Every structure is written in C-alpha cells, then in structure tokens.
Homo-oligomer: A and B are copies of this chain.
Amino acid sequence: MLELRLVQGSLLKKVLEAIRELVNDANFDCSATGFSLQAMDSSHVALVALLLRSEGFEHYRCDRNLSMGMNLNNMAKMLRCAGNDDIITIKADDGSDTVTFMFESPNQDKIADFEMKLMDIDSEHLGIPDAEYHAIVRMPSAEFARICKDLSSIGDTVTKEGVKFSTAGDIGTANIVCRQNKTVDKPEEATIIEMQEPVSLTFALRYMNSFTKATPLSETVTISLSSELPVVVEYKIADMGYIRFYLAPKIEDDEDMKP
C-alpha cells in the first residue's frame, strides 16, 4: 500500500511539466526514503534524475518498494486538473495495475480522484558516480532560461566556456557573458562562479531548452562542468529534493562551428 500526501501539490504539477517534453514513459520508484525517477530521453542523449524525499510529504506511507510505470503525458493531463493550491495524494494498492491521484481543494469543498492505468516499462537504473567539477555556476534560473532561448534564435549549439555562452548560425554569431554578482538584494538573484580550471564545452541547445522547463521549480539553477563529463543542470525542489539533467557534450572540434 502506497499513500503519499503532498500539501504543496503544485510541486508535482511542475515536476511533470519539467520532464514530460524529454521523457514519454518512465518508472517512478517509491521506497522508504522517497519518490524518485531516473530516465533517459527518447534519443538516449540526456538523463533526468528526480528525487522527492519522504520527509517532504505531509504523510508518506510506502510498505514495500514499488516501481510504477507511467505515461508522463497522461499523468500530466490528470495533474493539470489539480488546482495550484490543491493537496495531491498519490495512492496505489499492492499489486494493483492502477495509481490514483486525489486532489483536495484547500477549503475541502471539492475532492477529485483520477485513476490512471500503469504500464510495464523496461529500464535499467544507471549508477551516477559523484564527480569533481572544474567549474560550477549558480545563477538565477530565469536568466539561464532566457539565455538558452535567446541563443536558440541564432544557432543550434551552445558553447559554455566558464561563464560565456556562445553560438553561431547562418545569420551571425552571439556571445553572452555573465559576471559574478554577489551584491544583490536577494540571495537567489546572485550569480556565483567557482572555477578550478577553465573548461569549454559545446551542447545541443534543444536539450538545454528542454531542461529549462524546470524553471518554475526553483529560483536558481546550478550548472556543473568538467571537460570529461556530462554537464549537470540542477534545480532544487524546495526542501524536498531536486531534479537533475545530465547531457554529454558534443565532441565535434570547436573550430568547426565558428562561421
């Protein structure tokens, strides 16, 4: 028996919107520690890892480990029926092939339950080793989303060289430089750069733009870069956990993309 009650139901709505462009079907894994998901995108280029820790739920009952395969578009359709202030409870009986999402309005005058069929999905769980990163940038998530969107109008790939974002396309080239900035009114507006050594990597903007669908989940984003490793783009989810996107750099020679 599974029963997870999330007072801030809008978080779950935002999580779905953040990942459903990248992933169609995925297994949600429930254990005593939390509600998590790990999935490759359909072209097997990017990886999403989600964790919502059990402590973040008002009520968290998970009698035994359970892996529930869901179609994320169908799940998103149902979650869109929850109001932004609704409490969401995820319920499943042991051995059942359905999951129920219950939405309670704040004043309790409307209670909805949406029952969705589960799917069997093959997936292997990848171990993601902890790594040392050469450069870590923490910046406002809206700023990062804006940069990815802007560069997309010029080119297909972004080259991240510490804190310089560049692209080139048919109509010209673009460079955007972000400066460290700690003297801000609110800590979430800061741009903080920790650089061990310079690193320059090129990524497909299409994926970066998909990752920024998670922007509503967090005011800040952390981007971790190493020359030998996939980039990690992390959005923290309140006090509950995180959503992390991993993307391997393009290995074409950097000079090739200069116009």
Contacts and interface: CB of A to CB of B under 8 A. Distances in A.
Interface of A: 71, 74, 77-78, 80-81, 83, 98, 107-117, 143, 146, 150-151, 153-154, 171-179, 181, 191
Given A78-B154, A153-B81, A176 B112 contact: yes
Contacts of A172: 74, 78, 98, 114-117
B81 A174 contact: yes
Contacts of A175: 112-114
Given A80-B150, A81-B151, A114-B154, 4 more contacts: A74-B171, A80-B153, A110-B177, A115-B174
A77 B113 contact: no
Copies in the complex: 3
A178 B77 contact: no
Given A108-B179, A153-B80, A174 B74 contact: no
Given A113-B174, A114-B174, A143-B110, A77 B153 contact: yes
A171 B110 contact: no
Contacts of A81: 150-151, 153-154, 174
15 contacts: A74-B172, A77-B154, A77-B171, A78-B153, A80-B153, A81-B151, A83-B146, A109-B178, A110-B176, A110-B177, A114-B172, A114-B174, A115-B172, A116-B171, A117-B171
